[in-house]
Amino acid sequence: MWGTIHQLISHYIDQPFNDTRCRPVSGGDSHKAVVLSNGNQTFFIKINEHSALPQFFAEVDGLKHLDAVGIATPKVVDLGTSSNHSFLILEHLELDAIGSEHWRSVGQTVAKLHQSQHQAMFGWQEDNFIGPTLQANQWTTKWRQFYTQQRVGCLLDAFVQKFGGNINVNRVLSHIHLTISGHRPAPSLLHGDLWFGNIGIVNDTPYLFDPAIYYGDREVDLAMSELFGRFPEPFYQAYHEVYPIPRDYEFRKPIYQLYPLLNHALLFGGHYVTAVRDIISSFDTH
């Protein structure tokens, strides 16, 4: 594997990439991550089993589409496989600490992303992934139908099968469908997995990582930004200045937080299972 990685990097930089040093880094929960350097040039490598190659293809697709609408992302060097592994090679970014003014820039950047509304339907050109979880993206004209069926529905079924309980899946989905039935959002380009770990600052410029990209209601990204540690207030102030947040967003926020919580519950269990049950209990749909 490492010989192939060295060859791909050598081709990318158009010179030999030898005498390298490798150190493991925290790269999220989906893949092993390392930083590979020859002392002058450094690259960020994600590594997983061979079967994870579709996840890397989806990540490259998301990064390229973010870049196409003017969002800064790490440059993709290449991706490939060995007999037992798949890997993604990205440029290595030296991230700065995120201060208050940076969070204003992040808010403006995300608002700009959400103003990318070049699609009349909800979904994406192909299914992709949120973390290691397959994410359905069949084009759909009605947002309530897309979110109910292709986001919450399949994960809620899996949740009940894995953890049991007295959850009435049909009643939960009917509640969600009814709650957002009068909501008519424009299909906005979403990051899809917007939390602290997927944002960085390089030379005062916000970068976005690890997208689970699709066209959907922009409030989904905002709801997730409040879920795993709410972003600092300057983010929301700057976002609202560029693209005002609807007054009734708070009414829909718990529904939009259910999808990432379901995903985390299925992946990690623990308190995420309780969080899912708490949100569903607030619907009073048993």
217 belongs to the catalytic site: no
Q: Which of 78, 193, 210, 278 is catalytic?
A: 193
Sign of CA dihedral 24, 98, 95, 128: positive
Q: What are the residues facing 79 on neighbouring strands?
A: 88
Residue recorded with tokens 């440029």: 91
Contacts of the segment 230-237: beta carbons below 8 A, 24+ positions apart = 231/103, 231/106, 231/107, 231/196, 232/100, 232/103, 234/100, 234/101, 234/103, 234/104, 234/107, 235/103, 235/104, 235/106, 235/107, 235/110, 236/107, 237/104, 237/107
Q: What are the residues facing 208 on neighbouring strands?
A: 199
In what side-by-side order are the strands of the sheet with 76-81? 21-25, 32-37, 42-49, 85-91, 76-81
Active site residue ranges: 193
